[in-house]
Amino acid sequence: MNISNRIRYRYAPLILGATLGLAACKSSSKSAPKPTGEASAQTDDSGEANGSGPSTGTDGDAEQAPAPRGSDRPTDPQLAQIQLPEGFQIRMYSADVPGARSLQITPDGTLFVGSRGAGKVYALVDTNNDKRADKVHVLAEGLNNPNGVAFKDGDLYVAEIDKIWRYPEIENHLEDPPEPELISDAFPSKKHHGWKFIKFGPDGKLYIPVGAPCNICKPDPDKYANIQRMNADGSELEVFARGVRNTVGFDWHPETKELWFSDNGRDMLGDTIPPDELNHAPKAGMNFGYPYCHGKDVRDPEFGRGVDCATYVAPVQDLEAHTAALGIEFYTGEMFPATYKKQLFIAEHGSWNRSEKVGYRVTLVRLDADGNAQSYEPFATGWLQDETAWGRPVDVEVMADGSLLVSDDLRGAVYRISYKP
């Protein structure tokens, strides 16, 4: 059942801001050659150009061509289509971030943004405190799907398909990025589900997922379909969780410090199965069932025969099938009403292989004190209009003031959602 039919909000008028045209302060990366002109659409494992439309097996996460510019940027009428609960409003934070994907904000307010097909890593800065980025620095370009960005002790970490790089003391060098240091090249080079979301955990380790190199298959569990972690210097790389098909977003509960993550379900079983998943991994060594079991009760028709799915960890919440649930974030700010505290926001990138499109929205999973899911409901919708999507949410990030940032790789934008009673 489409969750948008299960709950109704009263929507307040949205306060809209004019789209800013931002001048990008470009600095070349020394880790890879600069491309000539605009980054071209790349190909995935099927050989189809990622910019020409989604291809089989990309799980609603097909790469887009470089973001439109000029009049094709998100406009005020388009932002007016975004529906939010009463008291919330959405504005443009930056419309000049082609292919915007993973988000990482620093204590000083610098927002790092990864991409995929654009091959770039950005730093967005709000220099005049007007809640909009007025500088966009291109820190690196020509990289191999640099989806993941993380920040620790002043250093920026960037994940390519098969490598992790570190840019030391990056906020002191936004105009002239330093020579990157190779932290690890221990990851497979396959592009299918090879783009990585990365994040430092409360234990100080960097967590790195490696997706299954297929729609459905039985890969080496030590190399694929898992979440790995390592020290910040690249040492002591180990597998933390197995049976994870393709997670592109995770976060730790602000109190328990336990890991929660989204996972994209397999394709080609129909419109409504299997679901995407919200999972909870309180300790290392857990197995979440791929490729044998999906969601809470779907046994794979090819690999699940004779398998007892009860031997694997079931998701906390089944998410709507094929929504491509990507970035997730616990709300830890003070701006939103108290009922949002410690609840999970999820960016749903949107489907590609359903007869009717779903996703293209930000949802909210409400949890009780014991970590049990109480509801799964829409929070921000409207990027999908009459089967046509003009935007695709990828990641969510809570700012220091309590507002919520949302990246959009189709429009090359970052939005800011705020609340005022």
Structure tokens at 322: 């094929």
Q: What Å distances lie between residue 222 and 85, 211, 395, CA to CA?
A: 43, 11, 27
Mean of the pLDDT values across residues 345-367? 97
Distance CA 50, CA 399 (A): 31
Provide the 3-class DSSP secondary structure of residue 338.
helix
Distance CA 313, CA 283 (A): 12
Cβ pair 396, 349 in contact under 8 A: no
Please determine, for residue 419, whether its predicted confidence score (pLDDT) is greater than 60.
yes
Phi and psi angles of residue 4, each rounded to the nearest 5 degrees, phi first: -65, -15
Give DSSP secondary structure letters for 194-263. Answer: T----EE-TTSPEEEEE--SSSS----TTTSSEEEEE-TTS-S-EEEEE-------EEE-TTT--EEEEE
| pLDDT top residue among 306 and 6 | 306
Q: Minimal CA–CA distance to 119: which of 145, 101, 100, 96?
A: 145
- What percent of the chain shows pLDDT beyond 90? 81
Q: Minimal CA–CA distance to 297: which of 282, 283, 312, 287?
A: 312
Q: Which of 59-73, 240-254, 308-322, 371-385 has the lowest mean pLDDT?
A: 59-73
Q: What pairing do the DSSP bridges indicate for beta strands 293-294 and 250-252? A: unpaired
DSSP type of residue 83: B
Distance CA 238, CA 285 (A): 10
Q: Which of 26-35, 41-50, 53-62, 70-79 is the most confident on average?
A: 70-79
Cβ pair 101, 124 in contact under 8 A: no
Mean of the pLDDT values across residues 297-306? 97
Hey, how many other C-beta atoms are within 10 angstroms of the C-beta on 102? 31
- Residue 77's pLDDT is what? 74
AA letter at 97: V
pLDDT digits (tens, 9 = 90+) for 153-186: 999 999 999 999 999 999 999 999 999 999 999 9
Cβ pair 161, 189 in contact under 8 A: yes
Structure tokens at 183: 């932290």
Structural domains of the chain sorted by starting position, each given as residue range(s) with its CATH number in brackets: 67-106+186-419 (2.120.10.30)
pLDDT digits (tens, 9 = 90+) for 6-46: 333 333 333 333 333 333 333 333 344 333 223 333 333 22
Confidence of residue 396 (pLDDT cuts 50, 70, 90): very high
For the chain, state the CA radius of gyration.
20
- Residue 246's pLDDT is what? 99
Return the ∠ at Cα 105 (arms to 370 and 30), rounded to 5°.
130
Distance CA 348, CA 262 (A): 10
Asked if the peptide bond before residue 274 counts as cis, ω within 30 degrees of 0, the response is yes
Q: Minimal CA–CA distance to 93: which of 329, 405, 381, 345?
A: 405
Tallying the residues shown for the chain, one arrives at 421
Structure tokens at 299: 């046994």
Give the chain's mean pLDDT. 87
Cβ pair 345, 328 in contact under 8 A: yes
- Residue 78's pLDDT is what? 86
- Residue 75's pLDDT is what? 59
- Residue 15's pLDDT is what? 35
Cβ pair 226, 237 in contact under 8 A: no
| pLDDT top residue among 409 and 40 | 409
Please determine, for residue 250, whether its predicted confidence score (pLDDT) is greater than 60.
yes
Please determine, for residue 371, whether its predicted confidence score (pLDDT) is greater than 70.
yes
Predicted TM-score (pTM) of the model is: 0.85
Structure tokens at 394: 């990828």
What's the distance, Cα to Cα, between the start and end of the chain in Å? 32
Q: Minimal CA–CA distance to 181: which of 294, 313, 63, 30?
A: 30
- Residue 73's pLDDT is what? 52
Phi and psi angles of residue 138, each rounded to the nearest 5 degrees, phi first: -95, 105
Give DSSP secondary structure letters for 241-257. Answer: EE-------EEE-TTT-
